[in-house]
Amino acid sequence: MGARFILLKLSSLSFFNLYRNHSLMSPRVTLKRIAEKAGVHLSTVSLALRNHPSLPAGTRERLQSLAKEMGYRPDPMLASLVAYRTSTREASDHGVIAWVDAWRGAKSARAAYPELWTAAVARAASLGWRLEEFRMDQEGLTPVKLSRILRTRNITGVLIPPLQTQAGEMELEWPWFSAVATSHTLLWPPLHRVVPHQMRNMQLLLSELLSRSYKRPGLVIAAEVNERTRHYWRATFLDAQQALPKTRQLPVLLTNADEPDRLIGWFKRQRPDVIIASDVFTAREILQANGLDVPGDVGLAGVAFATEAWRPGGQAELDGSFPAYAGLAGIDERFGVIGESAIDTIVAMLHRNETGIPKVAKHIMIEGLWCDAPSIRRRE
């Protein structure tokens, strides 16, 4: 109780008084000393050390170098107090984070990834922010114009959902924005990303199938999907096959949904006892149209569900939103968690005034969840 009382008393002090008192008590290098030596205002030093884009890059670099030379270290006591006050303050409207959609035509990233959108909206609201959609396909909305709109409205947080193409680029005035991508489809710029852990997901899927005594797993993946995932699924599958006898190592089939004869020809030649498919719904349709029973003749599992809002046992199955997918096992890539983590990352960057293309892009990979269903046999 006593410690909480002292902390509450401290939180009632102004940051100026806390800074003044601490600077008198400690020999640490303070912002005031840096400002005096540099001949600038204290607030300028504060902005420079937070890498705020309102200062010229040269000014920021000069003051950051000076602080490093003088041995400046952030005050952990002050940081703890800021964290405490932030955690106890009710969420308020801090502003807008932009959901920048580069899809063309009637389709949109919001419609293709509804769980990603819904989770990101909810997480932003819980932190006092509002997620707003900006469509790049609107008439006359060029990257330059969109950048100007965002800057005019003081919107610096940007979330990039998965793009429509697998080799997408996006031109914005990146030095002004704290941006995070949620897929590998954005090839440029190399932003921080929150993405599915596709390598771990394939390992998890194979482990589940082998635990059900399947001996000859095969992978059928659309060529475009293979590019969108940077070959992670295919590479992990091929790596796992090295642990199997050569007679059980099957070649990966790169095909598309409009090539059913290739799938059937590959199946007859290779005789897999279970198929892992990037489009599990289409694969089941083709197999059944050719007189094959799932899972009697061959098991079937999706490395990721084509409709990310659907999963076995989920609400969409209960209310019948996606009846065609019922009964199909596979990996839920947990786009809800991806949306929440993307917002957390953007908000943290905004607090630290981290803007622009990072020197080292960091990837946060979210592990998927195995979803059992009748398209594969039960564990023995």
What are 193-238's pLDDT values in tens digits? 999 999 999 999 999 999 999 999 999 999 989 998 999 999 999 9
> Are 138 and 56 in the same domain?
no
Question: Is residue 301 one of the residues assigned to a domain?
Answer: yes
Check residue 12 and give its pLDDT. 47
Q: Strands 369-371 and 329-332, how do they pair?
A: antiparallel
Question: Is residue 294 one of the residues assigned to a domain?
Answer: yes
> Are 213 and 324 in the same domain?
yes
pLDDT band at 7 (very low <50, low <70, confident <90, very high): very low
- Total domains, the chain: 3
> Are 71 and 114 in the same domain?
no
Last residue of a domain, one of 28, 63, 88: 88
Model pTM score: 0.77
> Are 178 and 138 in the same domain?
yes
Name the amino acid, one letter, at 224: E
Q: Bridge-partner residues for 131, per DSSP?
A: 97
pLDDT band at 182 (very low <50, low <70, confident <90, very high): very high
Check residue 14 and give its pLDDT. 47
Alpha helix (H) residue ranges in the chain: 2-12, 15-25, 31-38, 42-49, 57-69, 76-88, 109-112, 114-126, 143-152, 198-210, 223-228, 232-241, 260-270, 280-289, 315-318, 335-352
* pLDDT higher at 298 or 305: 298
Question: Is residue 73 one of the residues assigned to a domain?
Answer: yes
- Coil, helix or strand for 200? helix
Separation between Cα atoms, residue 344 and residue 114, nearest integer Å: 18
Average per-residue pLDDT in the chain?
84
Domain limits for position 205: 198-333
Question: Is residue 380 one of the residues assigned to a domain?
Answer: no
Question: Is residue 378 one of the residues assigned to a domain?
Answer: no
Name the strand (E) or helix (H) holding 187: strand 186-188
R_g over Cα of the chain: 26
